[in-house]
């Protein structure tokens, strides 16, 4: 895949281990809002993500090749997936999420 064709998220975590993200508000990213790639033992708690229902490719939180991720007590409203679980991700725990507008939680295949 050509580098300029890659989706560029508003916030991207790469190779993060044993960290937490809390109390953040992200609005109207032109594409993905938050991505986690090659991360382990990350907690995302009490965040708010907002984008218009009509905005395409504005996933809320996506994980790729990540393990032991907790997403909880958050509100996610986007024009695409609220949470996407990508290839190679495992042990992703999602609790007490308000999702909408958006397509919910789904397994991503790229």
Catalytically active residues are 80, 103
- Long-range contact list for 7-11, CB < 8 A, 24+ apart? 7/31, 7/32, 7/57, 8/32, 9/33, 9/34, 9/35, 9/62, 10/34, 11/35
Strand-pairing partners, residue 25, are 48
| Beta-carbon contacts of residue 69 (< 8 Å; ≥ 6 apart) | 36, 39, 41, 42, 43, 44, 63, 89, 91, 92, 93
């Amino acid at each position: 895949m050509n580098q300029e064709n890659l989706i560029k998220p508003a916030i991207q975590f790469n190779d993060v281990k044993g960290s937490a993200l809390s109390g953040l508000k992200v609005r109207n990213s032109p594409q993905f809002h938050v991505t986690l790639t090659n991360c382990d033992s990350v907690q995302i708690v009490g965040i708010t993500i907002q984008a218009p229902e009509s905005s395409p490719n504005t996933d809320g939180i996506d994980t790729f090749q990540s393990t032991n991720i907790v997403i909880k007590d958050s509100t996610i409203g986007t024009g695409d997936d609220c949470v996407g679980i990508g290839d190679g991700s495992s042990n992703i725990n999602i609790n007490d999420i308000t999702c909408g507008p958006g397509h919910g939680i789904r397994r991503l295949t790229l």
